[in-house]
Amino acid sequence: MPMTEDSLEAVITAELPDVPPASRPRHIAIIMDGNGRWALKRGQARVEGHRAGAETVDRIVTACGRLGIEVLTLYSFSIENWQRPVEEVNTLMDLYVECLVRERDRLIENNVRFLQLGRREGLPPLVLEKMDETVKATRNCTGLTLALALNYGSRTEITDAVRAIADKVKAGKLDADVITEQTIADHLYTAGLPDPDLLIRTAGEMRISNYLLWQISYAELYVTDVCWPDFTQADLHEAIREYARRNRRYGGLDESNS
């Protein structure tokens, strides 16, 4: 029997009762760091850390759906990651194909819409094929949007947006005098998605790593020393609690202290 709106709200509230849904982030972006270090500490090859990290993705996607999060964006493979050893890159690409095929039915079952952010050029044909099939299969899902940043770099994204806008100006389809911040946002890979409210980075590194530079202008940052394969639902809940405790002023003043 389908859940009513009230019963769905009750489930969402019960998942994290100390943080009401209105105080939770709409969009969570995560830099999933530490897979290789996690594996090396256990005497395993780095690729085993990526396999363990894929299992964490499954858990966190499920958890975000149950929390009523609208968008989850995961930094999966950057343009710079092509510089890694060929064996590791090939294993990652094989893992993407495996996961896209294995998880597709579960995404549909859980009403999760799948998107890819990043350049298509350079990705193996089989990755593109399975990615496109998953995007098409989940396009009518209305729950959580899972955006996978694959072959992604924020400077590349902004460059692509500027080129697209310049082409429209050159073709007479857009007046340069009316270009606004929204114009730029509408030409980014994330067009149509709300900007991230919360950026989580695992494994303790204090940097952004060319990730969603335009979109995270006012995001709250949360860094944990936990490596991605060990990141749990409890860790996610703690990040959301910390987000809810912060006072987001967007450059203004805190009226309670003025």
Report the CATH number at residue 45.
3.40.1180.10
Does 43 fall in a domain?
yes
Task: Measure the CA–CA gap between 104 and 137, rounded to whole angstroms.
Answer: 8
pLDDT at site 203: 98
Residue range 232-237: mean pLDDT, rounded: 98
81 is catalytic: yes
Q: Locate 131 and state its tokens.
A: 């990615």
- Evaluate whether residue 47 is within a structural domain: yes
> pTM here?
0.93
pLDDT over 80 (residue 2) = no
Burial of residue 60 (number of CB atoms within 10 Å: 0-12, 13-18, 19+) = buried
What residues contact 81, with CB distance under 8 A and at least 6 apart? 89, 92
pLDDT at 7: 58
68 is in which domain, residue-wise? 20-153+195-243
Here the tokens at position 176 are: 């340069």
* Residue 123 within a domain: yes
Average pLDDT of the chain to the nearest whole number: 94
Cβ(119)–Cβ(89) below 8 Å: no
pLDDT interval class at 70 (50, 70, 90): very high
pLDDT of residue 22: 95
Report the C-alpha gap between 255 and 258 in whole angstroms.
5
Q: Which of 18, 33, 160, 225 is catalytic?
A: 33
Considering just the CA atoms, what is the radius of gyration of the chain in Å? 19
Among candidate residues 81, 160, 186, 210, the one labeled active-site is: 81
112 pLDDT tier (thresholds 50, 70, 90): very high
pLDDT tens, position by position, 120-154: 999 999 999 999 999 999 999 999 999 999 999 99
- Domain membership of residue 8 (yes or no) is no
Classify residue 221 by its DSSP letter.
Answer: E
Is 72 a member of any domain?
yes
| Residues above pLDDT 90, as percent of the chain | 90
Q: Residue 13's pLDDT band (boundaries 50, 70, 90)?
A: confident
For residue 33, indicate whether it is catalytic. yes
Closest CA to 33 of 189, 175, 225, 195: 225
- The answer to the question of residue 185 being in a domain is no
Please list the alpha-helical segments (H only) found in 28-185. Answer: 35-41, 46-67, 86-109, 125-137, 154-170, 181-185
In this prediction, residues 52-80 reach a mean pLDDT of: 97
Residue 249 lies in a domain: no
Q: What is the largest CA-CA distance in the chain?
A: 59
Residue 257 reports pLDDT greater than 70:
no
Number of folded domains in the chain?
Answer: 1
Identify the pLDDT of residue 12. Answer: 81
164-191 per-position pLDDT tens digit: 999 999 999 999 999 999 999 999 999 9
Residues 199 and 219: beta-carbon distance below 8 Å = yes
pLDDT for residue 5 is more than 70: no
Backbone φ and ψ for 220, nearest 5 degrees, come out as -85, 135
Domain-embedded: residue 1: no
The token duo for 101 is 């095929």
Per-residue confidence (pLDDT) for residue 8, from 0 to 100? 61
pLDDT of residue 248: 77
Tokens 């099939």 sit on residue? 133
HSE-up of residue 94 (Cα within 13 Å, Cβ side): 10
Q: How confident is the model over 83-99, as a mean pLDDT?
A: 95
Res 256: pLDDT: 58
